[in-house]
Amino acid sequence: MNKVKTLAVFATAILTLSGCAVPYAKKGTQGYKGGFEDKELEPGRYAIEVEGNGFTSYEVAEQYFYKRAGELCAGKTYKHTLTRTTTQHTNFYFTPQLSGVTQHVFPVVIGEVTCDG
């Protein structure tokens, strides 16, 4: 029984420390905070926002922006603007022994895309 308990603790620690960047998915669909959102501003012109989590770099968020832009423009070329910023999430936690607040800052890429043709 002791070996099983030790293995369970070890496995939990590995999974906790490995972390996961936000997958390429629409915001709110994968059970993660983050993902992409887009809005059509007019035909062929879109606003795109990509929010990462604590394991997502700006470079990955930008890759997701460009991937979504390519999808929205159906593979056509496009013009774009891009801005890097951050968002802050505050979490409150309460247990019988402990309570507190944690704050996390996540990368955000915001931009507009105008499809050619």
Residue-level pLDDT at 63: 96
Q: Provide the percentage of residues in the chain whose pLDDT is more than 90.
A: 45
State how far the Cα of 1 lies from the Cα of 35, in Å rounded to an integer: 41
Average pLDDT of the chain? 82
Output phi, psi for 78, to 5 deg.
Answer: -155, 160
DSSP string, the chain: -HHHHHHHHHHHHHHHHH--PPPSSBTTSSSSS-EEEEEEEETTEEEEEEE--TT--HHHHHHHHHHHHHHHTTT--EEEEEEEEEEEEEEEEE-SS-EEEEEEEEEEEEEEEEE--
Domain ranges of the chain: 21-115
The pTM of this model reads: 0.73
Q: Which residues of 67-97 are buried (b: 16+ CB within 10 A; e: fewer)?
A: ebbeebbeeeebeeeeeeeeeeeeeeeeeee
Name the pLDDT band for 76 (thresholds 50, 70, 90). Answer: very high
Name the pLDDT band for 1 (thresholds 50, 70, 90). Answer: very low
